[in-house]
Structures are given as structure tokens and as C-alpha cells.
Amino acid sequence: MDKTFTLGDKTINRLGYGAMRITGDGIWGEPADRGNAVSVLKRVVELGVNFIDTADAYGPEVSENLIHEALYPYDGLVIATKGGLTRQGPGIWTPDGSPEHLREALDASLKRLGVEQIELYQFHRPDPDVPYETSIKALVALQEQGKIKHLGVSNVNTEQLEQAMELATIVSVQNNYSVLNRDSEAVLQMCQEHGIMFIPYFPIGGNTGGLNEQVLQSVADKHGATVRQIGLAWLLQHSPVMVPIPGTANVTHLEENMRALDIELDQQDIERLDALTSQG
């Protein structure tokens, strides 16, 4: 299993970090312990992670500010962020794919992160009130201005991905995907065919009860691992374009997640895990 992925002129390690959960409850406001959040981010890099995913909507603004505080000037790191969602309160997410909002969101992320160019900027979610083509064209224009190095999309189906690829060079897709949630399997296959990085979020997902729980726990016991580690190991072995971004605000959990890189699932393990479904 290759443990790295090439993104443009950068080589990134295939187990990244998602910086959503370093904010407050409901992904809203400041964390209860800001010092702990900074320590977690520093430990992420110490463990060899060089791909960190965030978004302006995480907090909002909080995650990007913490990343700047803990990791600037990002030596050897790829900081990926997203725009296109607005926040009105804990757990409330509203799409805004208008060109005006995307321009403002990008400029604000540049300022918070302290950079002149975002390494990877992802359109967070299609806006049903704005034609998808309009949103992507707005991001292409910002890329042509030099504010974005690479473009990615998130929460897309195959038709939206195909449309985006016709308008821009798309280097990444970030969708909800796991051993128990493979609704985006067709999108993953498109990414694999075109060498596009696939960033799965919620690395377990689905229903872990019943048969699912038994199988996952059985495989975990065999490897002296946790169910979460097995879920991450399966993702890494399922496709070479997969770059999982497990997120946590706990250093112990972070270190546990990283040990998934050392788990080698055998063919029997893979067959048993492939057979799992979201229904359990």
C-alpha cells in the first residue's frame, strides 16, 4: 500500500487530519480549551501528517484561526480549506454558492490563514439556489487571479463532478464515505479513473449495530486494533486515491488514528469488510 499521494508538486501522506472538531460544541464558537486545540494541531504535524483540512464554516472562522496560531507558516504542510456554507448557529449550515459570497469567503480565509494563495480550495456544498456552473466558474476566476492553487469540490454526485471537471481542473473530491456508507462509490470510481484525490469524511459512518458491529469488532480483535482504526485501514486499502481526514480534539484519539497506517488487512479481512452494508 502506497502511503503517499501526489497533489500537484506536493507529496502528501495519505492519512490527513480534519480540523472541524477543534471548535466548540455543534462546530460552533471557540473550543472549551483553546490551548488543547493548539496542542492537538501541533501534535498532528509531529506525527507526520502534512495534509490538514478545514473550512471557513468551522466555528465559523475558529478552525482557520487556530490553524494559523498553531502552525503558521505551514512549512511542508498543505492546508486545504472550503467555502460555500454559512452558519447561523450550532448545527445550522446554509449553502451560499453565489459568486459574491465565494469571493468574500476566499478573501477572508486568505486573511485568517495568513497566506496569499490557498493550496487547495474546495467548494463546500452545491447551492440549490445557484446554478452549479455559476459557482464553479466563480472559483475558476479566483484561481486565475492567483488566489487558489488547486480546486476541489465537496458533497457532489457524479453529474456535478463531471460538470465541474468540464469547467476546471478538479484535483479533489470530499464526500461522506466509509466502510458502512458507500453511497458515493460511483464518485470514488470516477476519481480513481481520473487520478483525483478522494477525501472521505466520517470514516466509520452508518449503522455499527448487529452484524456490522460483530464483523468490525472481530477484525479489530484480530489485529489488536479499534473499530475506528479498522475503518481507516479499510479506506486506505480500498483505493489508492483515498486520503482520509479523521478529526479529533483529543491527542490520545489522534495517536490511535495514526496507527491505522500500520494495519495490513489480509484478503479475508477485506472480503468480510467489503460485504458490510449501511443496514447492518
Burial of 237 per CB tally in 10 Å (0-12, 13-18, 19+): middle
Cell of 136: 464553479
CA 92 to CA 84: how far, in whole Å? Answer: 14
CA 18 to CA 203: how far, in whole Å? Answer: 11
Q: Which of 17, 58, 121, 177 is catalytic?
A: 58
Residue in this structure with the C-alpha cell 468540464, named with its chain if needed:
166
Q: Please indicate whether residue 201 is annotated as part of the active site.
A: no
CA angle 99, 104, 109 (to 5 degrees): 125
- Other beta carbons within 10 angstroms of residue 171's beta carbon come to 20
**Among all residues, which ones are annotated catalytic?**
58
